[in-house]
Amino acid sequence: MSASILNRESWLQEAVGILEPIFSAVGYGIPPLKVSCGFAASSSPRTTLGQCWPRERSGDLVNEIFISPKIDDPVEVLDTLVHEICHAIDDCQSGHGADFQGIAQVVGLEGPARMAHAGESLKVRLMTISKTLGPYPHRALNFPPPRPSNASRNKAKCMQCGFEVTLLKRWESYGAPICPKDHIRMEQTQPEVIEVEDSQDDSIKTKEIRRAVSKK
């Protein structure tokens, strides 16, 4: 195997073929599928590392898997791919339910179903496979810090009925508005203190929500 695959999709598709013995050894065949580098459609792109779509959703009637552009470590990519192939074998029928769990466990995944990842033995195999495939031809896409939520903005509140609105920064100098119910001037309130998610927090959340499966 050449270690100079230049295309992400070619690397991922090649990986499927090399992973096949892991599944066939425990009695499962990998169905026809396509693998691409892309964001999950129905989950947070910040935290979801992979997603598998059922055959009925594909114009080619095959399972389609997407590996997040957030990751570029080849072993982590293969780990995520194994998880999504388990969904493809089940055709996404059970989500992260019992049927999926049965497949995942016998191929070497461990941990809670939604976060199921390679156990020690499988991880060693994936490390060997990654050397066979060569470098994953992709560099991780880094997200900017999330925008502050409304909780970090000044607000105005009616002290009589509790009606509350968020004040846009460009209008704050005009003062608090009149309550539409009680017709009294509302009072400005201090914004709540929120923690801005940094790259380390983002990494932690990524580990907490690792995989997604599309629903029918």
Q: Residue ranges of the alpha helices (H) in the chain?
A: 8-24, 74-89, 98-107, 120-133, 199-208
Q: Provide the 10 A C-beta neighbour count for residue 191.
A: 16
pLDDT at 215: 62
Name the residue ranges covered by the structural domains of the chain.
Answer: 8-142+201-211, 150-189
Which residues of the chain register pLDDT less than 50?
1-2, 192-209
Given 3.40.50.1100, 3.90.550.10, 3.40.50.12780, 3.30.2010.10, which CATH number is that of 8-142+201-211? 3.30.2010.10
Neighbouring C-beta atoms of residue 202, cutoff 10 Å: 16
Contact assessment for residue 137 and residue 5, using Cβ atoms and an 8 Å cutoff: yes
What gap in Å lies between CA 109 and CA 111, rounded to an integer? 7
pLDDT at 166 (0 to 100): 86
